[in-house]
Amino acid sequence: MWSFNGAQTMAQLELNKDDQIASGVQRAIFRHPFDKTKLVKVLKSADEMPQRSNFNGRMDQLLPSTRLRQVRKEYQEYLRLMLKTEGREARIPISHMMGFVSTNLGLGCLTESVTEADGTLGKTLGELARSGSLKDEDLDLLNDAVSRIYRLNIRASDMNPKNFVLGHRWQGTALGPRECVLVDGFGDIHAIPIRSLSNWTNRLGLDDSCARLARSAKLRWDKTNRAFTRRKES
């Protein structure tokens, strides 16, 4: 006879603190314990988060629900994109999101890993820009990602250099082509969701985000051609 056993309803994924491979402001990033194609993002508890005095930081402290709202908005944007393209877009410019999993460290969000061919985690645009190792090919990959962000009209509210990762995604059992992927910061998180009003208002927002991204990654934003170029040496 079938009997209900609470322990069988949802297996908990055991994460090892030593397997944490990156850390953002909101989330701690872990390798998946037995699936090399995936990462697990766990929301940090309020006391683990760096204290920030800017608007977003104050909102996180005063209203913890804003953090959950961000996760919800991120998922909403992913769903919007997948349903709009009906899965026909071979390479979406944002990371695929694969649902949630219960872990010993809290709720985990499953996502695809962007890695180098040797299995190490892909570097962010921020790391490459800071160390002066951003190659011309990387810049081409960034521009390719940004052109797909515009073409698909992705609501990207936080295009900062730490949210773009360069590397390969898994396609079945093989690594796909090298690319630049927006792994965080998509979804219209603003209090007044102006970007979601229309594709036109979103493009204005993207223009603004790209200009800001250029400043922080020490690049130049060519608004007419919607492309990043290197700054001329002075």
Ligand X SMILES: Nc1ncnc2c1ncn2[C@@H]1O[C@H](COP(=O)(O)OP(=O)(O)O)[C@@H](O)[C@H]1O
When the beta carbons of 163 and 209 are compared against Mg ion, the nearer one is 163
Q: Shortest Cβ distance from residue 33 to ligand X (Å)? A: 16
Q: How far apart are CA 181 and CA 165, in angstroms?
A: 5
41 binding partner (options Mg ion, ligand X, none; Cβ < 5 to 8 Å by kind)? ligand X
The reply to whether 57 sits near Mg ion by the rule CB under 5 A is no
Q: Shortest Cβ distance from residue 64 to ligand X (Å)? A: 15
- Residues whose CB is less than 8 angstroms from the CB of residue 103 and which lie 6 or more positions away in sequence, other chains included: 12, 13, 14, 15, 40, 42
- Site map 146..185 versus ligand X, x via CB under 6 A: ----------------xx-x-----------------xx-
Q: Which of 52, 37, 40 is nearest to 16 (CA)?
A: 40
Q: Taking contact as CB under 6 A, which single stretch among the options 17-25, 77-85, 142-150, 225-233 is the one that binds ligand X?
A: 17-25
Q: Do the Cβ atoms of 145 and 227 come closer than 8 Å?
A: no
* H-helix or E-strand spanning residue 146: helix 136-151
Q: Which of 170, 193, 169 is nearest to 180 (CA)?
A: 169
The reply to whether 92 sits near ligand X by the rule CB under 6 A is no
Q: Tokens in use for 87? A: 């899965």
The reply to whether 49 sits near ligand X by the rule CB under 6 A is no
The reply to whether 39 sits near ligand X by the rule CB under 6 A is yes
When the beta carbons of 48 and 222 are compared against Mg ion, the nearer one is 48
The reply to whether 163 sits near Mg ion by the rule CB under 5 A is yes
Number of helical H runs and strand E runs in the chain? 5, 10
165: left (phi over 0), alpha (psi -120 to 50) or beta: beta
The reply to whether 22 sits near ligand X by the rule CB under 6 A is yes
The reply to whether 24 sits near Mg ion by the rule CB under 5 A is yes
Q: Do the Cβ atoms of 101 and 40 come closer than 8 Å?
A: yes
The reply to whether 27 sits near ligand X by the rule CB under 6 A is yes
Footprint on this chain of ligand X (rule: CB under 6 A): 22, 24-27, 29, 39, 41, 95, 111-114, 121-122, 124, 162-163, 165, 183-184
Footprint on this chain of Mg ion (rule: CB under 5 A): 24, 163, 184
